[in-house]
Amino acid sequence: MNNPKYQFFCENCSFKRFSNGRDIDDLVEVKSSKIFVKSPYIDPETKKVIVPDFITTKKKFKCPQCGMIIKARAIKNTEKEKDV
Ligand SMILES: [Zn+2]
């Protein structure tokens, strides 16, 4: 079974690539510097404490055609997986 789990798509040059998450050795990963998390703050109007969502770094890659940064998107499985 070799169902693709991720799709890479470059908006710049329309490069398309499917991946199962392990066959991306030839793609150049762009390292993100830090995981960025906002701290809670008080909304000046409502006086309520706002807790922002966690912002985590996702893996980014360089497009092999044009060098722009592309992201992997998870493909939803429409087929049921069977255990053998
Ligand atoms: Zn591209």
Confidence of residue 13 (pLDDT cuts 50, 70, 90): very high
For residue 23, tell me if it sits in a domain: yes
For residue 21, tell me if it sits in a domain: yes
Helix segments in the chain, DSSP class H: none
C-alpha 23 – ligand 1 centre gap (Å): 18
C-alpha 37 – ligand 1 centre gap (Å): 29
Instruction: Provide the domain count of the chain.
Output: 1
Confidence of residue 63 (pLDDT cuts 50, 70, 90): very high
For residue 83, tell me if it sits in a domain: no
**Considering the entire predicted model, what is its pTM?**
0.56
For residue 36, tell me if it sits in a domain: yes
Res 77 pLDDT > 50: yes
For residue 82, tell me if it sits in a domain: no
C-alpha 72 – ligand 1 centre gap (Å): 13
Q: Which domain holds residue 66?
A: 1-76
For residue 8, tell me if it sits in a domain: yes
Q: Which residues on adjacent β-strands are paired with residue 70?
A: 61
Nearest to 27 by CA among 35, 14, 18, 39: 18
For residue 84, tell me if it sits in a domain: no
Overall average pLDDT of the 60-71 stretch = 92
For residue 81, tell me if it sits in a domain: no
pLDDT tens-digit map of 20-45: 878 888 888 887 655 555 678 888 99
C-alpha 36 – ligand 1 centre gap (Å): 26
C-alpha 8 – ligand 1 centre gap (Å): 10
